[in-house]
């Protein structure tokens, strides 16, 4: 798959999410009335991880793959998305709630949601709960997480192969964009 096809994927995912673009610095609308505000990692913790991320949508016959290089400490996070052959597709930087997008303009709406989705899947549970609104619920088991609002179906559901979500594989469903996401840690 070439860089043009990857940009087309990013653009199509972004168009599906344009209605819920972030409205407040560091906060992202996950669904029409559900927000998540980015959280710092607990003091002394950092995360440097490379992941193969596979996106599957029902309107696309083939899944799309990107490699995410994630580097985070304190209230800073950088996500660089690469094609499997190493060509940069986009970069997102979150610094104390300020997001900076370096990628195709058509994909910015999705791009600015990725730090929130990554935190919901990988961050410590207490930090995730702090970032969710009062009417949101985070359910956590050793096998995964689910984020919902009231009695509504889950907005995000994850299943993880390891009790530590930064290890192993995560299978997620992000309902507002009808997207399945498979995240596999790449060993260094």
CATH of residue 98? 2.50.20
pTM: 0.84
Q: Containing domain of residue 97, as a range? A: 3-186
Domain count, the chain: 1
Q: Which residues of 59-73 are buried (b: 16+ CB within 10 A; e: fewer)?
A: eeeeebbbbbbbebe
Q: Are 57 and 181 in contact (CB under 8 A)?
A: no
For the record, the structure tokens of 31 come out as: 């669904």
Burial (CB < 10 A; 0-12, 13-18, 19+), residue 74, is middle
Output the tens digit of pLDDT for each of the chain's 188 residues: 444 444 444 444 443 443 344 346 789 888 888 999 999 999 999 999 999 999 999 998 899 999 999 999 999 999 999 999 999 999 999 998 899 999 999 888 878 889 999 999 999 999 999 999 888 999 999 999 999 998 899 999 999 999 999 998 999 999 998 999 999 999 86
What residues are paired with 24 via a beta bridge?
27
- β-strands 76-82, 64-73 pairing: antiparallel
């Amino acid at each position: 798959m070439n860089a043009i096809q990857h940009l087309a994927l990013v653009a199509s995912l972004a168009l599906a999410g344009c209605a819920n673009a972030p409205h407040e610095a560091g906060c992202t609308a996950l669904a029409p009335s559900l927000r998540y505000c980015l959280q710092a990692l607990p003091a002394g913790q950092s995360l440097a991880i490379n992941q193969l991320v596979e996106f599957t949508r029902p309107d696309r016959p083939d899944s799309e793959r990107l490699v995410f290089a994630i580097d985070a400490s304190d209230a800073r996070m950088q996500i660089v998305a690469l094609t499997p052959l190493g060509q940069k597709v986009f970069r997102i930087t979150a610094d104390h709630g300020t997001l900076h997008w370096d990628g195709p303009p058509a994909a910015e709406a999705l791009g600015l949601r990725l730090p929130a989705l990554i935190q919901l899947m990988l961050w410590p549970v207490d930090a995730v709960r702090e970032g969710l609104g009062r009417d949101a619920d985070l359910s956590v088991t050793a096998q995964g997480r689910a984020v919902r609002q009231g009695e509504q179906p889950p907005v995000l559901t994850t299943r993880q192969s390891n009790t530590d979500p930064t290890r192993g594989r995560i299978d997620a469903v992000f309902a507002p964009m009808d997207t399945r996401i498979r995240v596999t840690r790449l060993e260094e």
